[in-house]
Structure 1
Amino acid sequence: MSPLDLIVRNGTVVTASGTTRCDVGVLGGRVVALGEALGSAAEVIDASGLLVLPGGVDTHCHVEEPQADGTVHEESFVSASRSAFSGGTTTIICFTPQFRGEGILEQHRRNRERAACGMIDHGFHQIITDPTPLVMEEELPQVIADGVGSLKAFLTYDPLHLTDAQFLEVLVAARRHGLMVHVHCENHDAVAWRQAAFLAEGHTRPRYHALSRPVVVEREATGRAIALAELVKQPIQVFHVSCAEVAEEIVRAQARGLHVWGETCPQYVTLTAADMDRPGFEGAKFMCSPPPRDAVDHEGVWAMIRRGVLDVASSDHCGFSYDGDRGKAKNGRDASFDQVPNGIPGLAARLPILFSEGVSKGRITLEQFVALVSTNPARIAGLAGRKGCIAVGADADLVLWDANKRVTMTNVLMNHAIDYTPYEGMAVTGWPICTIARGVVVMRDGVVTAQPGSGRWLERRHVNPGPML
């Protein structure tokens, strides 16, 4: 065999289908050999005592995302790349927003320019908030031709939410073009009613964010989204499922043979609604939607992960600093809960938390972990065989993982642009030692060496799904 660019030797290679001791040979940014005695290479990394995992694939990240008020998320593609590599993630799928009354094509082009400054391989989901004929018939096909393979629909939030009629338009367009649809499921009118009632009674603290978005509003919207998708025969993925009660809607759909998948996030197996009841404004650090539930719900989520009902765990990284004019306190620390930016950071924390809480504590196997954070998200994103696996022909995205390393998480370790982590002080067992992206070492011992502009755009081509009726 001719000399390779890189050989990772003496590690335990873990994929979604099995675990083996072998070396990994890399040439031209791709895996070209798995075995022993692979010959020579320009660089050799000794992975003795370490796991060799596929790079994490995070298909739910809000990065440098424009907002309707003219601001932009403070997490840039450069800082997000650093954070992702620090936590063992090598691929992200973010979002291109649409603002009502506007198109999507120019925003898509601007988003691609922003993302090109980063270091991580990336793609976009296209958010649809205003499915006009111009957008759906003229601009959407151009965005698809550029490699966007999925749409995002919100069933809550002003000014993002779609009516049922509009959601059907999105589903029909996705069906026509062979796209995946990802859905944020909460009943908009029910949430608004609960919020108004609490505010009218003077209940404004962060804890009322969770109380205004109980499980029933998530469960109802999930069932409704599935029913409408069933009507159109359109596959969907339900984003950030917070508890087993909501996941049961997916169980019933899958039992009927529907193409419905569920995603969850680290906050739903670690944080609780009680975190939003911390003194003063501190609870704002834990506000996201759907909100974390109760501690008893954590095991229910793990049970659904083991069953394969929730087969993807993304970060839903949506970073707003605690302070600053774009942060949680931008409207003041006495702002009512409905005026606090909604979302938490989690890019670097995702893999360590899920490994520690899942594998280290015996809740899931190594193979299930790899499927959850790498292989399944890559498959659903249309990147199977290229990302999320260690196989000949795949991109050489690898993470060397110390399964026994104990770390207390701090904001410094997150390496992001946000001034806090909701996981501050959490002890984890299992930590990334080295991250390799397309055959190049981009992080070693917490130090990121990747150069801005080195990330690649990932085209995700669609397929014809066949007749709708």
Structure 2
Amino acid sequence: MRTLIRNGTVVNSTGTVAADVLVDGETIVAVTAPGVFTEADRIVDASGKYVLPGGIDAHTHMEMPFGGTVSADSFETGTKAAAWGGTTTIVDFAVQQKGTLLQSTLDKWHEKADGNCAIDYGFHMIVSDVNDTTLKEMDACVEAGVNSFKMFMAYPGALYSTDGEILRAMRKATESGSTIMMHAENGIAIDELVAVALAEGRTEPVQHGITRPPELEGEATHRAIQLAKVTGAPLYIVHLSARHALEAVAEARDAGQNVFAETCPQYLYLSIEDLAKPEFEGAKYVASPPLRPKDHQADLWKGLRTNDLSVVSTDHCPFCFKDQKELGRDDFSKIPNGMPGVEHRMDLLHQGVVAGELTLARWVEVSSTTPARMFGMYPRKGVIAPGSDADIVVYDPAAKQTLSAETHHMNVDYSAYEGMEITGRVSTVLSRGEIVVDGGEFHGRAGHGRFLRRDLCQYLS
């Protein structure tokens, strides 16, 4: 099957050009001046539209156990929703439980995902039990195409690792060239603040944000950077939300250290005011790190422009308001942490283009090209170029839409952006040459997506 996408504006991280794109089977075979090719089995008219490399969401949590429940999107529903929003690859997290092996954890996540994903997928590994066996298994994970390992400075008693354990894992990562990903919040101090709040009868959702102040994210980020400096390990800070943490990352990058960071759309658009909504509505916005005061948003947008923030992912971890978020109605510390977002990341970042916060090229860079390079998928993914997978999004920059739970495709009963009016919308999505979304209809299928064995980060110096 040969597909010709014609009359569009191709947008790569290097800039824009009026060009046609020819796809043969699963692969892009030509990017040409308009009109060079005129025939194909299938023609997609992209007049007035952008032609982008498919989005890569490098931080999702499908079917993730947390707080006595499980995130609401399965690999099937979550990847279909991602495709609706122009994301054609996700990298999800396999979660090691204390006392278990990394290999059995990876096997379990393959069982969940294999045959169920509508788009391509890879895995990071969450390391929560650092011991001699785990450290040896990290090498086996790298051989299996999983070469990024997430650790937590938060959640004592569950996922938390001590500085000593982090140091050991970082030394192992240095040996293999793999990347340590860090949830950087001072969990020990946070737990103390939570205990004080509950003892004083402060139980409402906004306390989640108050007891996780930005200073404790900044402190943990600085500490993680110093541990990485001592060991020489590449470090990737996940879901950075606060200027305090951003300042630490910027300082390390200016010094030439292999430190990278992502932020998420919720930190660019939402704030602690959403956490403070009455009648328990704030529970919809409970995630960690928490939403910050609005004045942090300008710093994050600036960080994206200066490349101190390299990637925008979603941390998609949806829990329904009814029955799941309500577990913490009388105790904010029991509200499952996480928000839905995998379907709207590309659209929300396009609003940054509309508002003048990002260029078109930077939009593509932070949503597709850099994640591909960061996590060893480039040039197979992340670029419109001959030889790359035909993961392509035809995007209408003039279309209007209103975000709502009534129209989204994520398996969750609320939208964090309910009623938000935005400009721009996905028109057509190809995943490895197969049209999965077109004309407001889903044409994909569970099982189309393939597991991606990833190479090492391409940014290490």
User: TM-score, structure 2 length as denominator?
Assistant: 0.96
For residue 149 of structure 2, what is the aligned residue in structure 1?
151
Tell me how large the CA RMSD over aligned residues is.
Answer: 1.7
Q: Deviations over 1:176-204 (max 9, x none)?
A: 12111111100011101111111110000
Please show how residues 348-363 of structure 1 align to structure 2 within 5 Å.
Answer: 348-356=343-351, 358-363=352-357
In the alignment, what sits opposite 1:89? 87
Taking the aligned partners of 2:66 and 2:59, their CA distance within structure 1 comes to: 17
On the 8 A contact 2:22/2:30 being kept in 1, the answer is yes
Give 1:28 deviation, angstroms.
Answer: 2.4
Q: CA deviation at 1:94?
A: 0.3
Distance 1:352 1:112 in 2: 29
- The answer to whether the aligner puts 1:395 opposite 2:410 as a matched pair is no
- For residue 59 of structure 1, give the secondary structure of its aligned residue in structure 2: strand
Q: Which one-letter code corresponds to 2:143 in the other structure?
A: A
Aligned-pair identity (%)? 38
Paired position in structure 2 for 1:169: 168
Choose 39-48 or 434-443, whichever is displaced more.
Answer: 39-48
- 1:339 aligns with 334
Structure 1 segment 113-128 matched on structure 2, within 5 A:
113-116=111-114, 117-128=116-127
- Spell out the pairing of 1:406-417 with structure 2 (5 A cutoff): 406-417=400-411
Deviation at 1:39? Answer: 4.3
Alpha-carbon contact 1:149-1:180 (below 8 Å) kept:
yes
DSSP-derived class of the 2:204 partner: coil
Deviations 1:280-329 (A, max 9, x none): 211000011111111222111111111111120001101101113xx211
Structure 1 171/465 Cα, relative in aligned 2: closer, same or farther at 3 Å? Answer: farther
Give the partner amino acid of 2:308.
V
The aligned counterpart of 1:370 is 364
Distance change >3 Å, CA 464–CA 273, structure 1 → 2: closer
Shift of 1:447: 2.0
C-alpha offsets along residues 424-465 of structure 1, whole Å, 9 cap, x if unaligned?
111111111111111111011332211111100000134899
Contact (CA 8 Å) 1:178, 1:464: kept in 2 or not? no
Say whether the 8 Å CA contact 1:78–1:119 is kept in structure 2.
Answer: yes
* Alpha-carbon offset, residue 412 of structure 1: 3.2
Provide the residue aligned with 1:430 in structure 2.
Answer: 424
Gaps of 5+ in 2: none
Query: Is the alpha carbon distance of 1:295 and 1:464 closer, same or farther for their aligned partners in structure 2, counting shifts above 3 Å?
Result: closer
* Equivalences for residues 241-320 of structure 1 within 5 A: 241-320=240-319
Query: Which residue number in structure 2 is paired with residue 21 of structure 1?
Result: 18
- Once the 2 structures are TM-superposed, how far is the Cα of residue 251 of structure 1 from its aligned partner? 1.0
Return closer, same or farther for 1:68/1:364 CA change in 2, 3 Å cut-off.
Answer: closer
Q: Which stretches in structure 1 are left out of the alignment for 5+ residues?
A: none
Q: Offset of 1:118 from its aligned partner?
A: 1.3
Structure-1 residue corresponding to 2:447 = 453
Quote how far apart the aligned CAs of 1:74 are: 2.3
User: Are the equivalent residues in 2 in contact too, given 1:87–1:414 (CA < 8 A)?
Assistant: no
Structure 2 residue 232 is matched with structure 1 residue 238? no
After superposition, what is the alpha-carbon deviation per residue over 1:12-59, rounded to whole angstroms, capped at 9, x for unaligned?
A: 000000100010011121111010412421111011111111110000
Q: Structure 1 CA distance, aligned partners of 2:135 and 2:233?
A: 16
> 2:414 matched to which residue of 1?
420
Deviations 1:153-210 (A, max 9, x none): 1110131011000001111111112111111100011101111111110000001000
Q: Which of 389-398 and 215-224 deviates more?
A: 389-398
1:40 aligns with 2:39: yes
Q: Contact 2:179–2:457 (CA<8 Å) still a contact in 1? A: no
State the SS of the aligned residue for 2:30.
strand
- Distance, in Å, in 1 between the alignment partners of 2:97 and 2:228 is 24
Mapped contact 2:9–2:17 kept (Cα < 8 A): yes
CA distance in 2, matches of 1:107, 1:262: 26
TM-score by length of 1: 0.94
Instruction: Report SS of the residue matched to 1:11.
Output: strand
Give, in whole Å, the separation in 1 of the partners of 2:363 and 2:208.
31
Letter in 2 for 1:150: S
CA distance in 2 between counterparts of 1:121 and 1:225 reads: 31
Opposite residue 417 of structure 1, the aligned amino acid is N
Please report how far the alpha carbon of residue 114 of structure 1 lies from its aligned counterpart in structure 2 after TM superposition: 1.3
Choose from 7, 12, 16 the match for 2:4: 7
2:78 maps to 80
The question of whether the paired residues in 1 share the 8 Å contact of 2:218 and 2:242 is answered with no
Aligned residue for 1:194, secondary structure, equals: helix
| Equivalent-residue separation in structure 1 for 2:311 and 2:317 (angstroms) | 18
- Check whether the contact 1:321–1:328 (CA below 8 A) recurs between aligned residues: yes
Extract structure 1 runs of 4+ deviating beyond 2 A: 65-69, 71-74, 139-144, 461-466
8 A Cα contact 1:63 1:80, kept in partner: yes
Q: State the shift of 1:244 in Å.
A: 2.5
Distance 1:464-1:120 versus aligned 2 partners, 3 A rule: closer
Distance in 2 between residues matched to 1:206 and 1:464, nearest whole Å: 40
SS in 2 for 1:175: helix
For residue 454 of structure 1, give the secondary structure of its aligned residue in structure 2: coil
Seen in structure 2, the aligned counterparts of structure 1 residues 362 and 249 have a Cα distance that, compared at 3 Å, is same
Quote the Cα distance in structure 2 between the aligned partners of 1:441 and 1:90: 11
Deviation at 1:354, TM superposition (A): 1.2
The equivalent residue for 1:63 is 62
